[in-house]
């Protein structure tokens, strides 16, 4: 008997839930999602500020550094970008598992899942453009795409390992 987690319905549900969460999140303005006040409360002592001081790069058209943004917005930036990566990691992985259960071919599943997740990322940024007080960025689409691709590649490796292991057992 198959476990519930090996059934594509579970992964379809996960993908749909992630897409609904992303749509809802993109409907909110930055002001409604601002986590800086919470970070100011939780990280009052600004831990690791001296270690993070040397980090500086450009993302979009803006400098990302404590000097340019302040400590709390700097930390919030990394939390937001981690959320981008990991939500699309889950979306890409769940789409891959749905497709792999049907196609039984890892490479096609990878490409279709990755392109679907990247397409959804582009639509999500477009949706943000329609929402006030939001900044849609091509870089966010690329970050989302890398998150989805990472999950898909990890699953291709996993299924390749399982396939090779089962061949050795025979």
pLDDT tens digits, one per residue of 84-123? 999 999 999 999 999 999 998 899 999 999 999 999 999 9
Is residue 133 in a domain?
A: yes
Is residue 139 in a domain?
A: yes
Whether 137 has a pLDDT exceeding 70, the answer reads yes
- pLDDT for position 140: 97
Domain carrying residue 112: 4-34+84-169
- pLDDT for position 1: 45
Whether 4 has a pLDDT exceeding 60, the answer reads no
Whether 3 has a pLDDT exceeding 70, the answer reads no
Region 46-67: mean pLDDT is 95
Is residue 51 in a domain?
A: no
pTM of this structure:
0.90
Whether 41 has a pLDDT exceeding 90, the answer reads yes
Is residue 50 in a domain?
A: no
Is residue 15 in a domain?
A: yes
pLDDT tier, 165 (very low <50, low <70, confident <90, very high otherwise)? confident
Region 43-61: mean pLDDT is 95
Percent of the chain at pLDDT > 90 equals 82
Total count of domains within the chain? 1
Token representation of residue 59: 């993302």
Token representation of residue 139: 């870089």
Q: Is the dihedral of CA 98, 84, 41, 53 positive or negative?
A: positive
Is residue 126 in a domain?
A: yes
Number of C-alpha atoms within 13 angstroms, CB side, residue 87? 23
């Amino acid at each position: 008997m198959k476990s519930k987690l090996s059934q594509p319905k579970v992964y379809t549900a996960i993908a749909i839930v992630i897409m609904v969460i992303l749509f809802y999140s993109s409907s909110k303005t930055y002001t409604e999602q601002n986590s800086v006040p919470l970070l100011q409360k939780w990280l009052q002592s600004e831990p690791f500020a001296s270690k993070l001081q040397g980090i500086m790069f450009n993302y979009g058209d803006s400098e990302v550094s404590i000097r340019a943004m302040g400590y709390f917005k700097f930390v919030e930036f990394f939390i937001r970008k981690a959320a981008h990566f990991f939500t699309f990691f889950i979306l890409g992985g769940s789409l891959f598992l749905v497709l792999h259960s049907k196609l039984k071919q890892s490479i096609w599943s990878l490409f279709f899942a990755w392109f679907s997740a990247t397409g959804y990322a582009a639509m999500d940024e477009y949706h943000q453009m329609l929402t006030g007080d939001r900044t849609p960025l091509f870089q966010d689409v690329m970050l989302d795409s890398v998150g989805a691709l990472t999950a898909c590649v990890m699953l291709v490796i996993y299924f390749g390992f399982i396939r090779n292991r089962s061949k050795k057992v025979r």
